[in-house]
Structure 1
Amino acid sequence: MTTALSRPRAARPWTDVQLLHALDEVVEVELNRHLKAAKEWMPHEYVPWSAARDFDGVMGGQAWSPEQSQVSDVSRIALVVNLLTEDNLPSYHHEIATVFGRDGAWGTWVHRWTAEEGRHAIAMRDYLLATRAVDPVELERFRMTHMSEGFEADNSHSALHSIAYVAFQELATRVSHRNTGHHSGDPACDRMLARIATDENLHMVFYRNLLAAALSIAPDQAMRAVADVVTGFRMPGHGIPGFERSAARMAIGGIYNLRIHHDDVLQPVLRHLRILEVSGLTGDGLRAQEEIGLFMNGLSDQAVKFEERREAMLARRRKD
């Protein structure tokens, strides 16, 4: 019996409709695996409610000030960036629902993913407000600005680009959460973000496995999508007010930088998929594979230079 995954590669490029149909069986398998692996958890259990007290305003409580937070400065910045990124969930849902559809296993996955990501935002916001880790007024104003602008994927060329992007983006988010928790100085924060990162890792595995299947049925197109995503990758929160400044401080603080991006995000996915070992490529697929190899070498060199500058900067700060 010939299945969608075993039939000969089409002479013409796969359309999105053809590809999504061909991946139906894989999506169902991966959805069932995800549902078995995912553990139910409650956001309220990860929030230290005993630390909460009324803010100023209609409740007549105490105004926020920076010294009230136990969280380190760099983790406070990262928490705001991470939460504001999660806040744009309606736009993300629209993007993936438009690309993947709302029917069958694809639709079930889209809604399940959205529900799980929403839980992350609930936990982070409740933690931030209960512990007074951030200015609540500034946070709300940032949220309004960011969500009002919406979100449009950089790599919206095709369904393959979307699958490739989220395979890397979910891992990047997991790494950012874990490092934020490690640098926070607050065990409650570290525990909460570790729980969220576990979900993000499962999301990454779902998309990574889909990408592996896509490479087997449309290798040239999938390789091009991977090359475009890897060489032009940006986090979905790049539209957050002050993102560039925040990203720079997160890079220096060891939350997310070029070395982490190269070693802990791009390399693991590329290595697992054995991207540089894929055979049977032709034309643009071969060119894309070569682009990936050259880019990764160049990124590694950039990471070395960044580390040298970072160490010099930190050494000067220690002297001061």
Structure 2
Amino acid sequence: MAMAMLWLATGASAKLCFPGKMDASSGRGGISRIFCPAHSRTLARRWTAAAATAAPNGGIHLDCAPVPPEQVEIIQSMNGWVAENMLPLLVPVDSSWQPHDFLPCSTPAPGVSEAEALAAFTEGVAELREGVAGVPDEILVCLVGNMVTEEALPTYQTMGNRSEGGSDESGASSLPWAQWLRGWTAEENRHGDLLNRYLYLSGRVDMRQVEITVHHLLRNGMEMLVPNSPYHSMIYGAFQERATFISHGHTGRLAGQHGDKALAKICGAIAADERRHEAGYTRGSAKLFQVDPDGMVRALAYVMRGKVTMPGLLMSDGRDGGETLFERFSAVAERIGVYSARDYGDLVEHFVRRWRVAELTGLSGEGRRAQEYVCGLPPKIRRMAELAHQRAARSESRTVQFSWIFDRSVMVR
């Protein structure tokens, strides 16, 4: 789940409630803003650790109940289903690609001399650098941002292990939910490794500053202020995996347009992984919608209305000023089309349709309000995205600086 930023629709209230206990009054609320460059500074500051400890009436109010035992029971009862429907989406290790497959080989093959191997490696690196030479800085910024968030994988596995009923309690559990979490982690681990090595060989970025950013993000972590709800986690996983699939896919397409076929292939392989992982979380969510439609539609409304933590939100290169590194990265991604508010609108519409949210019946009053809210989101998001686009088109372009590319600047709006 690497992730690109998940463009965020938030409600008017900053109050965090358990997804199964959604405020009835807020169920009728609209979207107060879309997470896009125009509002990223507000949101990034809103969801900081400092905000979480702010004084009463001035910060975040946590009003969360424990995870209902029936949710935990449902998740635990699905282990057999997970074995049949999710685990097959993980590719056996012997059949999986590895970072080595996409990069110049640095070791001699049997029967090849050290001098011949070094010459072949040098030639391979030269070809790689020739391909990346024409890639604009804007694309490199997005590539680095995606790689940095991929490298924070330990944080994401920790988040998965917080989900009650679906965690890996022993660290080596044979239960299908635990096998999925470890298998997903193993496949995701290759993404950061591959992009890191590619960037190192490319010679186009300041790898020490990139490594400092990874170090900071792992130290800073990821704000997990929501309850340990397995419903929330499943929905969150589906959204993040699809967002990442889109982001890596667009990055690869842009790289290919500028002549870097190797990077296009790399991004394509990573995007394909994300697509499979999305399928797993989407299937799991669809099954939960069948078993507990009322609980799931309220959880979905909570995810849409409440705080969705962007995995790379707390990234830093140690040089952040008035605008955070994540804000600048997001602005570049929006401008060049790696991931935009329009993509987010398409993503929400996709899941509302895929999970047949509009067709759910037998819902409670809260469930019906949640259903109405969620089904009305896609057109609202598109209207707000269009307004934001129009405002950006009228605004003057500006430049932002990135230590990742040796303090060069790129254009944003």
Q: Which residue of 1 aligns with 2:235?
A: 164
- Aligned alpha-carbon RMSD (Å): 2.7
- Which of 248, 260, 265 aligns to 1:191? It is 265
Q: Which of 110, 115, 118 pairs up with 2:189?
A: 118
Verify: 1:86 aligned to 2:150, yes or no: yes
Q: 2:311 aligns with which of 230, 236, 243?
A: 236
Structure with higher RCO (Cα < 8 A, 6+ apart):
2
1:123-161 Cα offsets, whole Å, 9 max, x none, are 110111111232101101111111111223354451100
How far does the alpha carbon of each residue in 1:9-56 deviate from its partner, in whole angstroms, 9 at most, with x for none? xxx965342121122222111234313699511212222564548xxx
Select which of 72, 75, 95 maps to 2:159: 95
**Structure 1 or 2: larger strand share?**
2
- Corresponding residue for 2:204? 133
1:247 alignment partner AA: S
Report what 2:5 is aligned to: none
Unpaired segments ≥5 residues, structure 1: 1-11, 54-67
Are the equivalent residues in 2 in contact too, given 1:164–1:207 (CA < 8 A)?
yes
Structure 1 316/16 Cα, relative in aligned 2: closer, same or farther at 3 Å? closer
1: CA distance between counterparts of 2:179 and 2:398? 53
The one-letter amino acid of 2:275's match is N
2:218 aligned with 1:147, yes or no?
A: yes
Q: Which amino acid aligns with 2:313?
A: H
Superposed displacement of residue 255, structure 1: 0.8
**What is the DSSP-based 3-state SS (H/G/I as helix, E as strand, rest coil) of the residue aligned with 2:161?**
helix
Matches within 5 A, 1:15-54: 15-35=70-90, 40-48=96-104, 50=123, 52=125
Could you say what secondary structure the match of 1:281 adopts?
coil
**Matched residue, 2:300:** 226
- Residue of structure 2 in register with 1:61 after alignment: none
1:5 maps to what in 2? none
Query: Which structure has the highest helix share of the two?
Result: 1
TM-score of the superposed pair, with normalisation by structure 1: 0.83
Q: After the TM superposition, which residues 267-282 of structure 1 pair with which residues of structure 2 at under 5 Å, given as runs?
A: 267-282=349-364
Output the CA distance in 2 between the equivalents of 1:129 and 1:88: 18
Letter in 2 for 1:21: Q
CA deviations over 1:256-302 (Å, ceiling 9, x no partner): 11111112x22222211111222221122111111112332221101
Q: TM-score, normalised by structure 2?
A: 0.65
Out of 328, 347, 352, the position equivalent to 1:245 is 328
What's the counterpart of residue 258 of structure 1?
Answer: 341
Aligned to 1:212: 286
SS in 1 for 2:90: helix
Contact 2:237–2:278 at 8 Å: present in 1 too?
yes
**Which piece of structure 1 moves more, 142-151 or 271-280?**
271-280
Tell me the amino acid that sits aligned with residue 299 of structure 1: I
Paired with 1:314 and 1:40, the residues of 2 have a C-alpha distance of: 47
Q: 133, 139, 153: which one pairs with 1:75?
A: 139
- Give CA-to-partner distance per residue, 1:223-270, whole Å, 9 cap, x none: 11111222344431122120011101110111111111112x222222
2: CA distance between counterparts of 1:13 and 1:305? 40
Q: Say whether the 8 Å CA contact 1:163–1:207 is kept in structure 2.
A: yes
Q: How many residues are treated as equivalent by the alignment?
A: 292
Question: Do 1:155 and 1:165's aligned partners in 2 also have CA atoms closer than 8 Å?
Answer: no
Query: Structure 1: how far apart are the matches of 2:226 and 2:162?
Result: 14
Partner Cα distance (2:351, 2:97) in 1? 27
List per-residue Cα deviations over 1:47-87 (Å, max 9, x = no partner): 2564548xxxxxxxxxxxxxx85422222111111111111
Distance 1:309 1:124, change over 3 A: same
Name the SS for the 2:313 alignment partner: helix
* Matched-pair contact (CA < 8 Å) for 1:51–1:130: no
Structure 1 letter corresponding to 2:343: I
Q: Which amino acid in 2 is paired with 1:87? A: E
- Equivalent residue for 2:407? none
Any unmatched runs of 5+ in structure 2?
1-66, 105-120, 127-131, 317-324, 400-410
